[in-house]
Structure formats: structure tokens, C-alpha cells
């Protein structure tokens, strides 16, 4: 296809392999996706990844993932760089929003796009800041254990308090190897859990959900120690004390986004969100 000619695209659901291509595009944009993201993303909503095609070539793609009965999330919205300005991105955006029709829709918007999203009815809920570097802090004495099958229902229930909708199919893939998932327990009660995954550069920690900052920092320290390299974690702006501890442990604040919702913001335990799961799927 020549870059100078505009053709009407065909919109269709992406295969797992094509989701892998979209994730590769995200890497090309500098978004540093996980090395095994495609399979876990696909599990969240197999019908929620859409592409615009001209002939056999994908020219734009989007994740429009439906969670539960009334929530959805937009991410991985990319048009091929050599084909921008032709309406292909708009076409796939419209298809993604149609897939999520009737739901509260969330996204994480970079500063340059936030005004555009506001014009389409999205409202800022909170800022998120990425912290990156080699974690050199010490864990507290809170006991941490690896994720196991017998804990899944309890962890999924804990996750639901901190995320706008149930996402069991996604979690089953997200907490499984090769990702590393750790849980902090008090008897049979989940106090927090976190996941780390290898990315194109370093490791990303997310989600990091915890009842209090001591549990959060213990999980973060334990995950960082197991990773043995640089980590990246996207922290809600309201977690000022946690952010200060991350900086004291050697991480630097960088990349910024805003969590935005169209329709009322979901009711979650935001005070327990120390690291969002991913900027691509919420």
C-alpha cells in the first residue's frame, strides 16, 4: 500500500497473533509493553481488540476491552506512523467505542491527548506518574508468599475492590508464570498483592494493591528483589507518601498520564491502589 492513497478500511476483530503485532507497535511508540502481554490481554476480552485493515494490511488498532456488565477500557490506540492523517485511527476508535456502548469507559491519557479526550466526554479522575529505576529499599517484616491456585478466589475478590469490574479470565493469565505474583496474607485474609512482568526494558510492577503503605512497600521491595533489574510502576498521584518512599529507594519520577472516564467514575478503593495494572487495559 502506498502512503499517499486513502482507502476505506475494513474493521474486524484481531487474532492473538495480530494483537502481538499491535503490542509490537506499542513498543515502537516507546511504551515498553510486557514481553508476554498479548496472551493475557486477549484473555481479558477476545472480542475487544480491533484493527482497521486495507487489503491484508493492518493500518490501525485499538484495545476496547469489556469488563463485567458495565465497564470498559480503551488502550493500545495506534495508527501506523506512515499512514496517519487518513482517518484510519478515527475509524478504529469509533469501532472500539461502539464495542463498549452503554458502559462506563476508562482510559489513561497522555498530556498531549487529554484535551482531545475531554472534547469527547472523558473527565479526569486522577493523575498517574511512572517511577523507574533500581529499587534499593528494604521490605518490612510483613510475610509475603508466591501466588498459588488455592488463593485465586480470595485474590480475585481483593482485586475487585480496587478495580472497577470483575476480571477473572484476565487475572488467571496475568498472575501466572512467566509473570511473578506475590501475596501478603494475614491468616486467610489477603492484605495485598502485586505482579511483576518482564518488559522490553526492565520490569513493570502492576497491579500493586494493598491495605496499607507497609504492605505496599514490602510487596514492591520483594518483587523488585526477585526481578533483579530496573522496575517501572505507575502510581496514582494521591499516593504521595508511597511516591516519596519510591524516590528514597532510588526510583525517579517520569512519564505522566491522567486516568479519565466517560460516564461516572467507578467506585473503587483508590486509596489501596499503589500501582495500576497497566496503561493499556486499566
Q: In this predicted structure, what is the pLDDT of residue 30? A: 85
Question: For 137-178, what is each residue's pLDDT tens digit?
Answer: 666 666 899 999 999 999 999 999 999 999 999 999 999 999
Do 129 and 234 contact (CB within 8 A), yes or no? yes
User: What was the pLDDT predicted at 143?
Assistant: 83
Q: Look up the pTM and report it.
A: 0.94
pLDDT digits (tens, 9 = 90+) for 1-32: 544 566 889 999 999 999 999 999 999 888 89
pLDDT, residue 111, reads: 93
Q: Which tens digit of pLDDT belongs to each residue from 236-276?
A: 999 999 999 999 999 999 989 999 999 889 999 999 999 99
pLDDT of residue 139: 62
Distance CA 216, CA 36 (A): 24
Residue by residue, DSSP assigns the chain as: --TT---PPEEEEPPHHHHHHHHHHHHHTT---BTTHHHHHHHH-TT-EEEEEETTEEEEEEEEEEETTTEEEEEEEEE-GGGTTSSHHHHHHHHHHHHTTTSEEEEEE-HHHHHHHHHTT-EEEEEEEEEEE---PPP-S--EEE--GGGHHHHHHHHHHHSSS--HHHHHHHTSTTSEEEEEEETTEEEEEEEEEEBSSSEEEEEEEESSHHHHHHHHHHHHHHH-S-EEEEEETT-HHHHHHHHHTT-EEEEEEEEEEESSPP---GGGEEE-S-TTT-
The full length of the chain comes to 282
pLDDT value at position 162? 98
In angstroms, the Cα distances linking 279 to 151, 265, 276 are 26, 17, 7
Q: What is the pLDDT of residue 263?
A: 86
Q: What is the pLDDT of residue 219?
A: 96
Calpha distance 88→251 (Å, rounded): 38
* Per-residue pLDDT tens digits for 98-120: 999 999 999 999 999 999 999 99
Per-residue pLDDT reduced to its tens digit, 35-60: 999 999 999 999 999 999 998 899 99
What confidence score (pLDDT) does residue 81 get?
A: 87
Amino acid at each position: 500500500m502506498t502512503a499517499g492513497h486513502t482507502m476505506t478500511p475494513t474493521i474486524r476483530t484481531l487474532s492473538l497473533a495480530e494483537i502481538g503485532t499491535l503490542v509490537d507497535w506499542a513498543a515502537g511508540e516507546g511504551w515498553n509493553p510486557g514481553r508476554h502481554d498479548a496472551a493475557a490481554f486477549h484473555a481479558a476480552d477476545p472480542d475487544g481488540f480491533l484493527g482497521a485493515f486495507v487489503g491484508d494490511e493492518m493500518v490501525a488498532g485499538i484495545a476496547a476491552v469489556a469488563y463485567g456488565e458495565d465497564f470498559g477500557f480503551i488502550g493500545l490506540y495506534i495508527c501506523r506512523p506512515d499512514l496517519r492523517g487518513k482517518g484510519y485511527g478515527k475509524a478504529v476508535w469509533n469501532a472500539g467505542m461502539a464495542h463498549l456502548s452503554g458502559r462506563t469507559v476508562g482510559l489513561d491519557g497522555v498530556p498531549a491527548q487529554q484535551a482531545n479526550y475531554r472534547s469527547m466526554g472523558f473527565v479526569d479522575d486522577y493523575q498517574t506518574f511512572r517511577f523507574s529505576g533500581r529499587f534499593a529499599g528494604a521490605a518490612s517484616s510483613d510475610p509475603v508468599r508466591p501466588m498459588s491456585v488455592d488463593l485465586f478466589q480470595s485474590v480475585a475478590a481483593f482485586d475487585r475492590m480496587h478495580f472497577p469490574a470483575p476480571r477473572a479470565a484476565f487475572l488467571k493469565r496475568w498472575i501466572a508464570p512467566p509473570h511473578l505474583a506475590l501475596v501478603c496474607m494475614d491468616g486467610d485474609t489477603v492484605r495485598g498483592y502485586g505482579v511483576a512482568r518482564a518488559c522490553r526494558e526492565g520490569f513493570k510492577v502492576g497491579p500493586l494493591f494493598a491495605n496499607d503503605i507497609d504492605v505496599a512497600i514490602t510487596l514492591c521491595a520483594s518483587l523488585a528483589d526477585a526481578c533483579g533489574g530496573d522496575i517501572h510502576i505507575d502510581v496514582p498521584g494521591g499516593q504521595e507518601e508511597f511516591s516519596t518512599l519510591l524516590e528514597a529507594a532510588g526510583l525517579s519520577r517520569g512519564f505522566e498520564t491522567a486516568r479519565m472516564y466517560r460516564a461516572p467514575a467507578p467506585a473503587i478503593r483508590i486509596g489501596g491502589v499503589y500501582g495500576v495494572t497497566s496503561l493499556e487495559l486499566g
